[in-house]
Each structure stands twice: as structure tokens, then as C-alpha cells.
Structure 1
Amino acid sequence: MEATGIILAGGKSSRMGTNKALLEINGKTVIETICEELDSIVNNIIIVTNSFEDYQYLGRKMVQDEWKEMGPLAGIHAGLSASETEQNLIVACDMPFISAELGTILLEQLSDYDAVVPEISGQLHPLFAAYRKDVKKEVENALKQNKLRIRGIFQNIHVKMLDETELSKLDYSIDEADIFNMNHPDEYEQAKAIKSKGRE
């Protein structure tokens, strides 16, 4: 698919106490697993990070935030700015079980929208979502106004929220692991347990 996977790896991981992206599950770092999953559905991957040396070993394109210390929205801006494709899949670096199938659905739905965001159990997941490159303009406007909540930009663009009902119509049954993310050490332990039970 002519699309770019944008991995946001610029956070401080303060709650985890160590770089979440480089935590290992079954001998492989989380960011390696994310890259492998994305490789199956996109033809470009960009890592947004302010620590190039941490991810040099992956051999991927890396960019840093233009807007410093402004959170995930700045990462989305950097990734969309660097992307050379209209369609983009944003992924947080702490999601060890992202689904290529769900990612494909998000990108396919993007043809009629500016963004497609999963809404699971009433919770939006804007850090595993599809965005058109043009959304960069709205993101930049929000950054200029110091409005850093990602969902704030959704008021000004054409967004499709994909909930469980919508996904089931597309023959996809959501698994909680698809959108599982790790912020605390106990969630890392939980991720290792999920993996040991056979979740790929």
C-alpha cells in the first residue's frame, strides 16, 4: 500500500522509568515488532525521535520534533511533515501488539476522510490511527495556539470514528491487545504475559 507508517518514539517514558520502545518481549524490542508489522502494510516507515542514536540500529528514516516539548501532537506534525505519501498510519512506540489487519482497515477507510480513528469501549485511540498528510496544517495551527490535545484537531477535520460495530461490519473483531499500550512497569509485565499466551 502506498502509505507511510509513522512511529512516535519521542516520549520521555517517565512513568515506565526506561525507554518503552526498547523493552524486549520474547527477545525482540517493541519497536522492532512494530516495524515488522508495519512493513507488511506500508512501503515507508519514519521514526519520530529526539534520540537518533537509540534507533540507529533499525536502519529506518528518523526525524525529530520541530516543536520541542509539545508532546505527541508535535510528533504527529514531524511525521506528517516528513512523509512523502498522502496516507499515513500513526503508531505509538509502546503498542507491542498492533494489528496489520486493523491498520489496513484504517488506511482503506481514509479515502473519504482526513483521519480514521478507532473508538473502542468508548475510548478514542488517536495514536493508532490513519491520517492524511494534509492534516499537518491543522496540527500546526493547534501547536501555534498551544492546544496540545490530539482530539482537539478532530473538531476541524473530517474524521471517521471506527467503533466495534463499524469494525464488525468490516468483518473485523477487535482484540483488546490490538490497542494495548504500556505506560507502567506492571503493563510491561502484562504485555509479556499476553505474548506468552500466544498473542503475536
Structure 2
Amino acid sequence: MQATGIILAGGKSRRMGTNKALLIVDGLTIIERIAKELGKITTEIIIATNNFEDYQFLNLPMVEDKIKGKGPLAGIQAGLAESKNEKNLIATCDMPFISAKLGAFLLQSLDEYEAAVPEVSGRLHPLYAAYRKETLGAVNRAIADENLKIRHFLKTVNAKIVTENDFPFTLNEKYLYNMNHPEEYEQALRIQSEMKKIEGVSGN
């Protein structure tokens, strides 16, 4: 699919105490896992970060926030501005189990909507969501007005909130699992261990 994957890696990781994008799960950094999964469904991947040195090893194009200190919306702004494609899939750097299948479905939803955002168990996930490049204008206005909550921005565009009933497949909540604290990283390691056990059994 002609689309861009935009990985948001501009946060300070204060609650984790270390750069969460560079934590290891099953032999790969989390940001490598994300880039690998996005590479299955996009033709371009951009890292939106203010720390270029940390991610040189990925050999991917990087872009920094145009206005610092504006949170994830500034990363979305930078990524959309740099993107060569109309369809874009945003992924934050602390989601080790994102799904290409879910991402492809969200991107397909952009045929009819300006944004497609999953909502699971009543929780919205705007940082693993699809956005058309044309939403950049609304992002710019939101930042200029200091309305930095993504929920507010979504109300200003033609957004599809995609719930469990909309998916043509069973949605595993681990696809949207994200980590902010050390104990959540430990939980991610346990999830990965269980996944490998299941794969080992099914492979026998």
C-alpha cells in the first residue's frame, strides 16, 4: 500500500527512567520491532524525534518537531509535513506488539475518512491510528491555538472511531499495549514469553 509509517519517538521517557524505544523485547529494540511491522504495509517510514543520535542505527529518515514542547501532536505535525503519501499510519515508540493487519485496516478506512482511530474497551488509541496528510492543516491550527489534546484535534476532522465491532478479525488487545513504567516493560516481556510458548506449541 502506498502509505507512510510515522514513528513518534520524541518523548522524554521520564516515567520509564530510560529511553523506552530502545528497550529490548525478543532480541530487538522496540522501535526496530515497530519499524519491521510497519514495513509490511507502508512504502516509507519516518522517525519523528528530537534525538537523531539515538536512532541513526535504523538508517531511516528522521524529522524533528517544528515547535518543541507540544507533545505527540507536534510529532504528528512533523511527520505529516515530511510524508510523501496521502495515507499515513502513526505509531508511538512504546508499543511492542503493533499489528500490520490492524494498521492495514486503519489505512483502508482513509478511503472514506480523514482519520481512523481504534477504540478498544472504551479506550481511544490515537497514537496507533491512520491520518490523511490533509489533516495537517487541522493539526497546525490545534498547535497554534494550544489545543494539544489529540481528542480535541480529532473533533475537528472527519474521523472514524473504529470499535471492536468494526474489525473483520478478532482484535487482540496486545496489539495496542503500550508501556510507560518499568513494570509495564516487565509485563511486555511476560507477554512475549507467553506468545513464544504458544507459537512453539502450535508449531509442533
Same fold (TM over 0.5): yes
Partner residue in 2 for 1:163: 163
Normalised by the length of structure 1, the TM-score is 0.97
Partners of 2:4 and 2:62 in 1: how far apart?
A: 13
Gaps of 5+ in 1: none
TM-score for both structures, normalised by structure 2: 0.95
| CA offsets 1:138-183 (integer angstroms, 9 cap, x no match) | 000000011100010111110101101111xx2x111110000000
Alpha-carbon distance in 1 for matches of 2:135, 2:79: 11
- Which letter maps to 1:113? Y
Determine the structure 2 residue equivalent to 1:197: 194
Aligned to 1:68: 68
| 1:55-83 CA-partner distances (Å, limit 9, x unpaired) | 00000000000010110000000000000
Structure 1 moving runs of 4+ over 6 Å: none
Q: What is the CA–CA distance in structure 2 between the aligned matches of 1:196 and 1:20, rounded to whole Å? A: 19
Distance 2:155 2:174 in 1: 28
Identify the match of residue 177 of structure 1 among 170, 174, 179: 174
Letter in structure 1 aligned against 2:51: S
Secondary structure of the 1:198 match is helix
Give the counterpart letter for 2:9 in structure 1.
A
Alignment match, 2:145? 145
Number of residue pairs aligned between Structure 1 and Structure 2:
197
Is residue 136 of structure 1 aligned with residue 136 of structure 2?
A: yes
Query: For 1:86 and 1:151, how far apart are their aligned partners in 2?
Result: 21
Percent of aligned pairs with the same residue?
A: 55
Rounded Cα–Cα distance in structure 2 between residues aligned with 1:198 and 1:153: 36
Q: How far apart in 2 are the matches of 1:38 and 1:176?
A: 18
State the alpha-carbon separation in 1 of the partners of residues 59 and 9 from structure 2: 15
Distance (Å, rounded) in 1 between the aligned partners of 2:154 and 2:51: 29
Q: What are the equivalent positions in structure 2 for 1:75-86 lying under 5 Å apart?
A: 75-86=75-86
**Equivalent residue letter for 2:129:** A
Q: Does 1:114 align with 2:114?
A: yes
Alignment deviations for residues 84-138 of structure 1 (CA, whole Å, 9 cap, x no partner): 1000000000000000000000001110100000010111100000000011100
Separation in structure 2 between the aligned mates of residue 109 and residue 154 of structure 1, nearest angstrom: 15
Q: Work out the CA distance in 2 between the residues paired with 1:26 and 1:163.
A: 30
Aligned alpha-carbon RMSD (Å):
0.9
Aligned equivalents of 1:15, 1:155: Cα separation in 2? 29
Cα distance between partner residues in 2 of 1:154 and 1:103? 18
Aligned partner of residue 97 in structure 2, secondary structure? coil
Quick one: distance in 2 between partners of 1:126 and 1:35? 18
Distance 1:198 1:73 in 2: 33
Corresponding letter in the other structure for 1:196: S
Distance 2:18 2:29 in 1: 13
